[in-house]
Amino acid sequence: QKGGYDYFMQKEIYDQPEALTNTVMPRLHNGLADFSADGISDDLFKDISRVIVTACGTAMHAGLVGRHLIESMVRIPVTVELSSEFRYMDPILDEHTLVVIVSQSGETADSLAALRLANERGSKTLSIVNVKGSSIARESDQVLYTHAGPEIAVASTKAFSVQCSGFYLIALKLAELSGKFTEAELSEYCKKFEEAIATVPEVLKMDSYIKDIAEKIKDTFSAFFLGRSLDYAIASEGSLKLKEISYVNSEAYNAGELKHGTISLVTEGVPIIAIATQDHVLPKIMANVEEVKARGAHVIMVTDKDMSDYEGVYDDLIQVPSVDDRFGTFGVTVALQLLAYHVTVFRGNDVDQPRNLAKSVTVE
Ligand code: F6R
């Protein structure tokens, strides 16, 4: 069942090129997103004044990626809410709100409850779900199935990548319907999207290189992930992956927040994993990296950017293939999954079944 891999998580990390291809390629036609085979008509995306994404854990992080894409491209306001908070916030919902529920299992109790509330209050609901026929899939107005195949390891890997790819498709659809993009621009987006997916096998080839870096930080008590904007979403997922399986006390921070508290936690040798996939915030994140480096942190840069101007500012570099700024999610995510995986193997933990965690959280 593990297909020759040591752990399901490892297999599932390696499944990603196929999972992404299966999820994305059938839905890209002639430079556009096409959901006709899913039975999703364009009407779902018309007449919406805002989007609310609700989910838990890793799936919520995919929502943060989605928010960045949709807001930056189509200027529709997007909020991302933890499903466990959603009901208690008494959310303002109407028929012009598209509520997107993201769930690998389709059975997460809080996400299901959030969906039911959105349905009750008359919003349009779209779920991004991996498990066919699951409760969330059945109760949503529309379902965009991810085609990751079964995910067995408790720590979600391939499901996250395909959930993100779902948002890249939705952003493309909204961009088309916004009328603000030319055909050439939309088809350029598709090309860059496909190019980014094609870098995933290249990142997988960096496995043993990443393992060597993991070994350097394997004994740490804590670690911090830094990023800005889209990179903060990626950092959040990287941090969750590391903490849930390795038990390293790991947190993700918006890099700009460092000075407002967190930097007091940075001491000699603490690993700081800094994410940089976007040119417009590169100088900013590198300024933060210099600050933590000056306080003795062990900085691991994970980036697709040219770092030649910044040599000496970091200790280790995980350089993934360069892609267009909007599409850095895929390669960097895979690198961070491999980092979390190897740290965990070095620490001798049960990779697939971390303590206290269940694959599907069906209680609130
Ligand atoms: C972390 C992880 C969890 C799930 C969360 C939601 O690796 O797997 O954080 O993402 O429990 O689960 P689903 O997506 O099934 O709703």
Q: Provide the ipTM.
A: 0.99
Measured from the CA of 155, which atom of ligand 1 is nearest? 7
- Ligand 1 geometric centre to CA of 56 (Å): 6
Mean pLDDT of 113-135: 98
303-355 per-position pLDDT tens digit: 999 999 998 999 999 999 999 999 999 999 999 999 999 999 999 999 999 98
Residues 6+ apart with CB under 8 A from 185: none
| Cβ contact 126:114 at 8 Å | no
- Ligand 1 geometric centre to CA of 358 (Å): 9
Beta strands in the chain (DSSP E): 28-29, 32-33, 50-55, 78-82, 97-103, 124-129, 142-145, 222-227, 249-254, 271-276, 298-303, 316-319
* 126-144: burial string, b at 16+ Cβ within 10 Å, e else: bbbbbbeebbbbebbbbbb
pLDDT-based confidence at residue 360 (cuts at 50, 70, 90): confident
Tokens 């609130």 map to which residue?
364
pLDDT of residue 133: 96
- Ligand 1 geometric centre to CA of 99 (Å): 18
Mean pLDDT of 140-167: 97
Which amino acids bring their CB within 6 angstroms of ligand 1?
56-59, 103-105, 108, 111, 155-156, 240, 244, 360-361
Assigned token pair, 182: 């030319």
| Cβ contact 27:35 at 8 Å | yes
| Cβ contact 143:127 at 8 Å | yes
pLDDT at 363 exceeding the cut of 90: no
Give the whole-angstrom CA distance, residue 338 versus residue 354. 16
pLDDT, the chain, mean: 97
pLDDT of residue 261: 84
Amino acid code (one letter) for 125: T
